[in-house]
Amino acid sequence: MRALLLALGCVLGLSAQESPFPKPTAHHLAMKDMVGTWTAVARMYMEPGKPPMVSKGTEVNTLVAGGFWIKTELKAEMMGQAFEGHGLFGFDARQNAHVGSWVDNSDTWMAVTRGTCAKDCREQTLFFEGYDGAGKPSTHKEVHVQVDRDHRTMTMFVKAKDGTFKKVMDMEYTRAK
């Protein structure tokens, strides 16, 4: 076993010398403003013409894996229950795309996101296949905006039968002091 580990170490050592680990790109560096603890206010639009359901929570974001990824943890109260969500988001330079994953305790499926950024990566538009409020397969769109160092927003849309995207949720984040 030790010989195997030694051989693996030598191979990895040679590989590291031949191709050093990549450095974070401008896409990765733009994520730094997301790091920290945030208070979050979410508004979920359950039915047209009715007031949104409002939830409040806390999100903690940390840079992981050499600054390539944001690990996020969101805790809130939703519909009188404890809500917990976890995500991993970043920029995949090989695919030239912003990618991520999200899981939470409101359902058993995982959202796998893919999208682009604009405005010096202060705005990201991500898409994923998931389920609507009735449990039917649907296409979702999220628009994340880093307003300034201490404020962010996220707006989620679901694709309607007519092909347009209807807003189902928005969130406002404020950096915790």
Q: Which of 19-33, 55-69, 79-93 has the lowest mean pLDDT?
A: 19-33
Average pLDDT score over the chain: 90
Answer whether 146's CB lies under 8 Å from 33's CB: yes
Q: CA separation (Å) from 85 to 21, 40, 104, 117, 150?
A: 30, 13, 4, 23, 21
Q: Which of 5-14, 83-92, 116-125 has the lowest mean pLDDT?
A: 5-14
For residue 21, the tally of other CB atoms under 10 A from its CB is 7
Q: How confident is the model at residue 13 (pLDDT cuts 50, 70, 90)?
A: low
pLDDT in tens, 120-157: 889 999 999 998 878 889 999 999 999 999 999 999 99
pLDDT in tens, 14-51: 555 667 898 888 888 888 999 999 999 999 998 888 99
pLDDT in tens, 115-127: 999 988 899 999 9
174 pLDDT exceeds 90?
yes
Local structure of 20: helix, strand or coil? coil
Q: Where do the domains of the chain lie, and which CATH numbers do they carry?
A: 23-175 (2.40.128.20)
Q: CA separation (Å) from 127 to 90, 104, 107, 138?
A: 14, 17, 18, 11
- List of residues 6+ apart from 75 with CB closer than 8 A: 57, 58, 59, 82, 83, 84
Please tell me the distance from the alpha carbon of residue 39 to that of residue 114, in angstroms, as a whole number: 25
Q: Which of 17-26, 56-65, 93-102 has the lowest mean pLDDT?
A: 17-26
What average pLDDT does this structure show over 82-105? 96
Answer whether 65's CB lies under 8 Å from 45's CB: no
Give the pTM: 0.84
pLDDT above 70 coverage of the chain, percent:
90
